[in-house]
Chains A and B, each alone.
Chain A
Amino acid sequence: MNIAVFAVRFIIPVLLIVLLFSCVKNMFKIGKRHPILRLVMEPNGAEFNITCAESAIGRSRICDVRINVPSVSRRHAVLTYIEDVGVKISQVGNCKIRVNNKKVDGFTYLNLGDVIEMGGVQLKVCNPKFEDISSGKKPTVKGVIFQAVLLSIVQLLMLFEFVAHYGKDIPAAIPVSFTTLIAGQWIYLIINKFKGNLQIEIMGFLLTSFGFSVAASAFPSSLFKQLVCAVLGFAVFVAFGFVFKNIELTMKMRYFIGAAAILMFAYNILFGKEINGAKNWIEIGSFTIQPSELIKFAFIFAGAATLERLLSTRNILLFLAYSGICIGALFLMRDFGTASIYFVTMLIIAYMRSGDIKAIAFIVAAAGIGAALIIKAMPYVANRFAAYRHAWELASGKGYQQTRTMIAIASGGLFGLGGGEGNLDRVAAADTDLVFGILCEEWGLIAALCAALCFVIFAVYSLRCTPRTNSSYYAIAACAASGLFLFQISLNIFGSTDLLPLTGVTMPFISNGGSSMIASWALLSFIKAVGTQVIKEADVG
């Protein structure tokens, strides 16, 4: 037994590295999109092969179809490809477009042979030229099965370590949760026939297993709740996967979800419950939930927009006002850590929508001054940061949690002490705010870094898929969600290790907490969406 546990310590990190490497290899082999149509400019015969789902037409350098004629606006029109429907052309603002000599009011659908006229330039809609797209390989079924097997081995080894640690007295929740997770993920993968960009889910399952391991070590009694919430979160993930396939439905839902978020905040402020100084809990029956976690999803859902929308309504004031309400609500709830996460998410969305770096700089400066004023007016806020960079001097006071986390990290070494063998769980909030310490102590620095690396992969994946995704909406949402993840784990990891002030935010998927688990899976659906349609073959042309 002893030797087996000893060996498992080394096997898990190795498997994790292989697993992530394999995932990355598949995820970043993205094929080119099939071209949708071809525009031929009259009279000079210039050709534009349209491959993007959303293409801007205009004089500006960043337009996909660049027509460098003074009578054409910088951004003149938008082409949008809608699956199973067709391609529509929309005017930007008051820019005039004529299709087959008919004035376009708003938008119209295009047919082969149509002639578009704008600013004295004529564009004929033709069949696209097919390029050789064989270079882009689709993720193979084999790859997904390989990853699923690795993942399951890792999960079983985790379970094995807990069995070794607890012996006969192992709480039933531990084997039940892990086996349910393993069975569930295989069923899901089989239903999907191991096809598609399933690496997102596989990494989600991996992070969820880490979340289970934290609960199994620190609070086995909370593990059933984590399991139920993981199932709920996954259901949300799958449901929105269907919603995101229909961009028009998605756009319609924005308003409802945006309004629902505000209502939830309002309910929270009025009837919320205060736990640990922040009034960010509400009770429903015997359950307590943290709305601010769930609203993260709604915030991004309502904040992202399609290219057509972005170009027709250029200003982002409405969005900023909406963000202001959300962040203001969090201030009222005295949940400053979460408020800062919303703020950064807002910045990412605002930048993605407007591209206006000056406006963003202005917002950051204004927020900085605001924060300075708050700290001046309320010295106790600054007092919370007193231990920052002085954790070891205040090791038994304000630096208690940070120093214990660092002790745990060093104690675990590169390979960890084994599931359940850590001591950090004796410290308050270890399973939420200091969870990186528990990961390091029990599974080792390598495994913990692999967990952090998953979020890096999500971010780079969002970036990588952006040019080929079906709508700017998905690009903005995925970048916002992965940016939110990265900022939140930065606050969590670096806050608990004294590289940043300790703010007490959770680590998505991994921290013990039901609302956090559901929200994490919900946010992951954006990242799934940005890549989903990439590999679908276009059906026009």
Chain B
Amino acid sequence: MKQMSVRAVIMLVITSVFVAGLCILCMFYVTDGDDWALYPANTHIFNEGHVSKAGSITDRNGVVLSHSVDGVRKYNDDLLIRKSTLHAVGDLDGFISTGLHTSYLPQLVGFDSINGVYQFSGTGNNIKTTLDSSVCQVALEALGNRAGTVGVYNYKTGEIICMVSTPTYDINSQSDSKKAKDGEYKGVYINRFLSATYTPGSTFKIITAAAGIDTFEDIYDRVYTCKGGVEIDGEWISCMGNHGKTDIKEAVAYSCNAYFSQLAVDIGKDKMMEYAEKAGFNQEFYMDGIKAETSYFNVENTRNIDLAWAGMGQYTNMMNPLQYLTAVGAIANGGVPKKPYMVKSITAQNGLPLRQSIGQNGSRMISKDTADKVAELMSGAVQLSYGSWNFKGLDVCAKSGTAEVGEDKTPHAEFVGFVRNEELPLAFVVVVENGGTGRTVAGGVASKVLAAAKKSLVGE
């Protein structure tokens, strides 16, 4: 039997191969199981390829943005709410990849690799967002037919109040959905707040100002001359006005190109890079685990003239609205950003809370002192230039931008800032693509949105 015993070891080989196969299968189960379960052919949660059995998505006040009724996904009945929250909620085919229908599908249908798609009661989990659908609605109206984005968040808690991206479409209308599919609305499936980058234009001057405040102790006494522009390295950088001798307060208020190009050159490449990166340029940004497009700033190995352009938000600078909103929020919040989030809570059908979001601090961007100084400069811009009457009852600090995007194209209108009122700690970013002047166009949108936010959140 010795001989047989030796030969029977072959069974050990066969068994090992089989067990190894089972291990590989289990490994795939762990790594790919969610893709398997969430494949649209899974009849447990999909009906004809559309998610059918899933929880609801509501705004901060409980307004239902989308939910499942008898195995069919339904959106809010109001056209404007539907359209303005479409990019946050997502479509049913997964074209809007950052939408909750896609990025939070496992949570919505209640899938996890331990319980599979098993549900104790009802179907899926409910997601409550931090959005205020009434503010979103106003933002969409204010943007009108123009492409762009509006983002508003609470810089003390991190809650996103408003996130609207245009163009958008009515998902309930078959003809409008078809238009979107046929490409009649340019970039309609992109949530511009998360997935676009724009030339920051003059809005970038607040970053340069922060770097200037920290670099030069005598910043308030520092004066540069504007002759309707300035010559650097033999090239002319023109300015909107002829500001003459300008200090930093006037330069921010009147967005003086001559001042900031000279200041940026004096600050130097290294310091400019440092402050841009602290503000989130070249850094990866996430909101609720959804990755945003990365902002870009690079002045290494550049000439002074490029540095000058970069210091006032042109050159190769690109900002992502989410990232830039966070940076502006940091200025409002004493130099430390709150990480923005939109998913407030996830609750099982039986009421069991599965996740409750809390605001998290990002790493400090600038000192409190610097932040307060920049805020003061931005406040001055509103009072001197934009008009505080546009923001009735609100102490708004802001910076406009008119980003040049090509020779014969209308520039992007941009407006960023925050409200300093205790009861309404909101930061905002507005981009109107090819909208024209930032101060009037994007500033006008911001004015309407903030009024709506005040009405909804404070109740006046």
List residues of chain A with CB under 8 Å of any chain B CB.
2, 6, 9, 52-56, 62-64, 307, 348, 351-352, 355, 392, 395-396, 403-404, 406-407, 409-418, 423, 426, 441, 444-445, 449, 452, 455-456, 459-460, 462-463, 466-469, 472, 475-476, 479, 482-483, 486-487, 489-490, 493-494, 497, 499
Contact = CB atoms under 8 A, between A and B. Distances in A.
Contacts of B116: 410-417, 441, 444
A414 B115 CA distance: 6
A430 B28 CA distance: 21
7 contacts: A55-B1, A64-B1, A410-B36, A410-B116, A412-B118, A466-B5, A490-B17
B336 to A, nearest CB: 41
Nearest to B116: A413
Contacts of B18: 455-456, 459, 486, 489-490
Interface of B: 1-12, 14-15, 17-19, 21-22, 24-26, 28-29, 32-34, 36-37, 39, 41-44, 111-118, 120-121
Contact of B36 (A406, A418, A467, A490): A406
Contacts of A476: 4
B8 A466 contact: yes
Contacts of A468: 1
A497 B15 CA distance: 19
Given A411-B116, A413-B115, A467 B41 contact: no
Contact of B113 (A6, A413, A426): A413
Contacts of A449: 22, 26
A418 B118 CA distance: 9
A487 B10 CA distance: 13
B21 A499 contact: yes
Nearest to B33: A410
A459 B11 contact: yes
Contacts of B33: 409-410
A395 B39 contact: yes
Given A62-B3, A410-B34, A444-B116, 18 more contacts: A307-B4, A348-B10, A407-B37, A409-B33, A411-B36, A423-B43, A441-B116, A449-B22, A459-B15, A463-B12, A475-B1, A479-B10, A479-B11, A490-B18, A490-B21, A497-B28, A499-B24, A499-B25
Contacts of B21: 490, 493-494, 499
Given A410-B36, A456-B18, A499-B21, A62 B6 contact: yes
Given A410-B116, A413-B113, A414-B114, A493 B4 contact: no
B118 A415 contact: yes
B33 to A, nearest CB: 4
Contacts of A456: 15, 18-19
Contacts of A355: 3, 6-7
A472 B4 contact: yes
Q: Is the interface of A mostly helix, strand, loop or mixed?
A: helix
A108 B62 CA distance: 94
Contacts of A395: 39, 41
Contacts of A407: 36-37, 39, 41-42
A403 B41 contact: yes
B44 A423 contact: yes
A479 B117 CA distance: 40
A145 B15 CA distance: 29
Given A456-B15, A499-B24, A479 B120 contact: no
A404 B28 CA distance: 15
B112 A413 contact: yes
A415 B115 contact: yes
Contact of A352 (B8, B26, B37): B8
Contact of B14 (A9, A56, A483): A483
Contacts of B6: 62, 355
Contacts of A479: 8, 10-11
Contact of A63 (B2, B14, B28, B113): B2
A361 to B, nearest CB: 13
B39 A403 contact: yes
A463 B41 contact: no
A489 B15 CA distance: 12
Contacts of B4: 307, 352, 466-467, 472, 475-476
A351 B9 CA distance: 11
B39 A351 contact: no
Contact of A410 (B11, B29, B121): B29
A479 B5 CA distance: 11
A494 B7 contact: no
Given A55-B1, A403-B39, A413 B117 contact: yes
B314 to A, nearest CB: 45
Which of B2, B26, B29 has its CB near the most chain A CB atoms (within 10 A)? Answer: B2
Given A2-B120, A416-B116, A64 B2 contact: yes
Contacts of B5: 466-467
A486 B16 CA distance: 10
Given A406-B36, A483-B14, A452 B2 contact: no
Given A6-B120, A416-B116, A462-B11, A467 B1 contact: yes
A407 B3 CA distance: 46
Given A307-B1, A407-B39, A475 B113 contact: no
A494 B20 CA distance: 11
B113 A351 contact: no
B165 to A, nearest CB: 31
Contacts of A493: 21-22, 25
B7 A463 contact: no
A143 B2 CA distance: 31
Contacts of B9: 463
Given A413-B114, A413-B118, A486-B18, A494 B1 contact: no
